[in-house]
Structure 1
Amino acid sequence: MAQKLRQNTDHNKHPKQDFQVERLAFFSDAVFAIAITLLIIEFKIPHVTKESSFDDVWKQLVDLKYNLFALLLSFFLIVTYWMRHHFLFKHIHNYNKKIVVANMIMLLPIIFFPFTTAFFAESVDNKNVVILAFRFFLANHILAGLSIYILYWLAIVKHKEYSFEMSIPERKKFTSGLLFTTITFSIIFSVTFLTDNVQAILWVFLACGISKTIFDKFVKRNTTKNNVNII
């Protein structure tokens, strides 16, 4: 079907159409790469002097534990968003202004990840601020998920002529995984307004994470039967 669609559109295709689509993808890749790289900036090198002892330096490293946790979590999630974006551009072969704008809007929450990640990591020890920082962190991911879904809807659903056909199992796996993650973050975001107990919120976060793992395995088992090969 995809090959047939390509044959039908090749006769009126602009000579630089493929290049422009790749250019849009490359620009997006660069934004993702920079956002991931900037996550490490908050890892300050331990201050070492001639008088520094092993225990002093080790303590400085241990104090970075929350930064490490936030970095690994954000790294995993940014990579997940990139993989979904990469999967979309495997199907997109043309574009219009709406798709370009949607792609740029999708990149906006991505560039905020280094800030919200650092804010959350630095606020963990402050009970008065940590909830606010965590809300920013969650809102960042909610917006990222919604913006990628909008890009998917515009390029794959509304303007089908700009993309190769995506099979029903592929659509189900893509949309269910994306919406499940976004809804999960929305639930946790709502819980932060019901309680300021950080431990309780983290338990909810952990429960949602376990549910997501089980959900992914369930979807993978079903889509494997249809030989679906998407990320």
Structure 2
Amino acid sequence: MSMSVIKEPKPEHRAFELERLILFSDAVFAIAMTLLIIEIKLPDIPDTVPVANYMPYLKPVIFEFFTFAATFVFLGNFWRRHLQLCRFLQHYDTGLLNRNLFFLFFIVSFPFTASAMMHIKTHFILPLFIYLCNLAGALAALFWISYYVFQKKPSLAMPGHWTEKELMYQRYKYNFLTMATGFTVITMVYFFYPENVHYQWLSYWTIPALALFNHFRLKIKKRNTLRAVHIVDKTI
């Protein structure tokens, strides 16, 4: 009785399959970014309302457009980082495919979480937590991919470029830790001080403060890493 054997695909076939992974990811980003704008429509203003009184009708649309613009920037940034990471790939495996799908799950969730922001009220901020959770999840998934490619399975990446890989990995790690820490602080403030609006608004500054701190922390690490590489090159 003959036994079937699954043959390893040829290099050109694997390159095509890796390209399909990247193209599929690009398509998901394009669809998610397009869906953001679909629900935004100008309000139906009665003819009897004077122009001076248009603002109450336009305020929801302005906030909706601001949310769209911010989310578009977030998605564009995620796409750029994903593209930079994919530039180092030369192989793929099931683990990478699963992690990439996990990342895309949070990308396609953004149109829903962005539209949910329209339902924020003074005493109903659940949509904000859902949106922040979406951001944290996307950052966590991107960091998970970078850890898998650069640390756990370095054979999936092109040889060399050690400095760029290490700095990219550290950047994704710091971004995830910034968002996760900020989200935790905001959640705890709302839990322990549900009626203190002042504390709640101050807690929102945790994320930009941590982002600024980690930005300079990464710059110092980048300088030290490049200095170490320069010393090694001189020694060689």
TM-score norm. by structure 1 comes to 0.78
Aligned to 2:38: 41
Relative to 1, partners in 2 of residues 1:205 and 1:69: Cα closer, same or farther, differing over 3 Å?
Answer: farther
> How far apart in 2 are the matches of 1:169 and 1:201?
40
Match of 1:204? Answer: 203
Question: Aligned partner of 1:205: which letter?
Answer: Y
Cα distance in 2 for residues equivalent to 1:50 and 1:224: 62
The number of aligned residues is 213
Residue of structure 2 equivalent to 1:109? 106
Q: Does residue 1:216 correspond to 2:188, yes or no? A: no
Aligned to 1:3: none
Q: Are the counterparts in 1 of residues 64 and 118 from structure 2 also a CA contact under 8 Å?
A: yes
Question: C-alpha displacement at 1:205, in angstroms?
Answer: 2.7
Moved more, 191-200 or 143-152: 191-200
- 8 A contact 1:95–1:162 mirrored in 2: yes
Aligned ranges for residues 143-154 of structure 1 at < 5 Å?
Answer: 143-154=137-148
Partner of residue 20, structure 2: 23
Look up the SS of the partner of 1:64 in the other structure: helix
Write out per-residue CA displacement over residues 141-183 of structure 1, whole angstroms, 9 at most, x where no aligned residue: 1111111122122223222222113644323432333222322
Distance, in Å, in 2 between the alignment partners of 1:70 and 1:26 is: 27
Give 1:137's aligned residue.
131
Q: Structure 2 CA distance, aligned partners of 1:113 and 1:147?
A: 14
CA distance in 1, matches of 2:36, 2:160: 33
Question: Is the aligned partner of 1:67 residue 2:64?
Answer: yes
- 1:138-177 correspondence runs (5 A): 138-165=132-159, 167-177=161-171
Shift of 1:109: 0.8
Match of 1:128 in 2: 123
| Structure 1 gap segments, 5+ residues each | 1-11
Report if aligned partners of 1:138, 1:186 keep a CA contact under 8 Å in 2.
Answer: no
Are residue 193 (structure 1) and residue 192 (structure 2) matched? no
Deviation at 1:51, TM superposition (A): 3.5
Structure-1 separation of matches of 2:10 and 2:154? 16
Which amino acid in 2 is paired with 1:88?
L
Counterparts of 1:26 and 1:76, CA distance in 2? 20
> CA–CA distance in 2 between the matches of 1:143 and 1:91?
23
Task: Give the fraction of aligned pairs with identical amino acids, expressed as a percent.
Answer: 23
Instruction: Please tell me whether the aligned partners of residues 143 and 176 of structure 2 are also in contact (alpha carbons under 8 angstroms).
Output: no
Where does structure 2 lack aligned partners over 5 or more consecutive residues?
A: 1-8, 228-236
CA shift for structure 1 position 119: 1.1
Q: What is the rounded CA distance, in whole Å, between the counterparts of 1:179 and 1:166 in structure 2?
A: 21
Rg larger in structure: 2
For structure 1, which segment, 192-201 or 20-29, has the greater mean C-alpha deviation from structure 2 after superposition? Answer: 192-201
Letter in 2 for 1:143: G
* Contact 1:94–1:163 (Cα < 8 Å) also in 2: yes
In the superposition, the TM-score normalised over structure 2's length comes to 0.77
For 1:167 and 1:151, locate their aligned partners in 2 and report how far apart those are by CA, in whole Å: 17
Deviation, structure 1 residue 207: 4.2
The answer (yes or no) to whether the contact 1:145–1:182 under 8 Å persists in 2 is yes
CA RMSD of aligned residues (A): 2.7
